[in-house]
Homo-oligomer: A and B are copies of this chain.
Amino acid sequence: MSTDASHMRADARQNRDRILEVAQRLFAERGLDVPMAAIARRAGVGIATLYRRFPTREALVTEAFAEQIGHCLSVLDDALADPDPWHGFCTAIETVCAMLSGDRGLSAAFIGAYPHAVDVTGAQERALREFAAVIERAKRAGELRADFAIEDVAMVIMANNGITSDSPETALAASRRLVAYLINSFRAGHADPSRPLPPPAPLQLRDAFDQAGT
C-alpha cells in the first residue's frame, strides 16, 4: 500500500509537470487567455484534474512562469554585480528583451496582466527597483545619458513587444537589432544636440498587453 501511495504521488507529480510544460508553451504561443480546457486536453488530463492541481488560472500562470521570472530577476542581480556598470546595463536590457521576444505569455505575466498572481506582482516590483539601481549606477559612471528615464525601460519593453513574426528566429533577430539601435542612443555622448529628446511619458507597462486579450 505504501508503494501504491508513492505511485500515486509520482503520477500526480508527472501530471503537474506535464500541465506546467503545456501551459508554458501555449501561453508563449497564444497568450494567457488560452482556455483551461485546451491546456487540459493538450496535457492529456481531465479538466477536473487540472483544476485540482491549479484551482485558478492565476495559480497556473504564477507556477508556469516562476522559473523564467526568477531567471529575469537573476539577470538584474548580475547587472548590479557587474564591475562595468554600462556593460551591466546593456546586458540587462538585451537579455530581458531576448527572453520576452516571442513569448507573449511570459511578457504578460511579467508585467502583471494578472494582478492577483501575487508572486508575479512581487517579482515585478523587485524588477523595477533593481532596474532603477542598474540605471543609477550606469549614470553615475557617466556611461548612460543623464536624461534616460525609468519610464524608458517600459518604453523599450513595449517596443520590443511590438516586434513579432511567424518565425521566432526572425522576431528575435529583429528584437536584437531594435535593442542595439536603442542602446546606441542611450549611451552618454551619443546624443544629437540638434534633435533633443521629447520628455518621457508615464507609460503603464500593462497597457502593452490589453490587445493581446489577456
Identify the A interface with B (CB < 8 A). 31, 90, 104, 151-152, 155, 158-166, 170-171, 173-174, 176-178, 180-187, 190-192, 195, 197-204, 207-208, 210-213
Contacts and interface: CB of A to CB of B under 8 A. Distances in A.
A161 B164 CA distance: 11
How many copies of the chain does the oligomer comprise? 2
* Secondary structure dominating the interface of A: helix
A192 B184 contact: yes
A177 B192 contact: no
Contacts of A170: 201-203
Contact of A159 (B163, B173, B213): B163
Nearest to A163: B158
A152 to B, nearest CB: 7
Contacts of A171: 201, 207
Contact of A162 (B160, B165, B181, B198): B160
B198 A173 contact: yes
Contacts of A210: 164, 166
30 contacts: A151-B174, A158-B162, A158-B163, A158-B164, A159-B160, A162-B208, A164-B207, A164-B210, A165-B201, A170-B201, A170-B202, A170-B203, A171-B207, A174-B200, A174-B201, A176-B198, A177-B197, A177-B198, A177-B199, A177-B201, A180-B197, A180-B198, A181-B182, A183-B195, A184-B185, A184-B191, A184-B192, A184-B195, A185-B185, A211-B212
